[in-house]
Amino acid sequence: MGEEFGWRGFALPELAARIGWHWASLGIGVIWGLWHLPLFYMAGTAQSGLPMGLFLASSVALSVVMSRLCADEGYCVLPAIALHAAVNWGSMVLPVMP
């Protein structure tokens, strides 16, 4: 969850001040998805068994939701941390992919 301090705690407010939170959230989502790209090539990771395109699309979509939550709270990073934790925990408890 520490990565949220960088994505939504630092990058989002800086980019949102320049281009608005909508565009900032899309850009961060693309970069965030690409950030996880090496995990697709590492055996045993959660991403190694997922379709890459679906993961990238979900990263962008989740980034928009997280960014909106943070923007609504004055760029507080706690909602993004909570949602990220819920998504990671939920994917372990209720796997949607084989």
Q: Specify the higher pLDDT residue, 93 or 22.
A: 22
- What's the pLDDT at 97? 58
Going from N- to C-terminal start, the domains of the chain cover 3-93
Residue 96 predicted with pLDDT over 70: no
Residue ranges in 1-98 assigned as alpha helix (H): 3-4, 12-19, 21-35, 52-72, 78-93
pLDDT tens for residues 33-89? 999 999 999 998 888 888 999 999 999 999 999 999 998 888 899 999 999 989 888
pTM of the model: 0.85
Please name which of 69, 2, 3 lies closest in space to residue 31, comparing C-alpha atoms.
3
Confidence of residue 10 (pLDDT cuts 50, 70, 90): very high
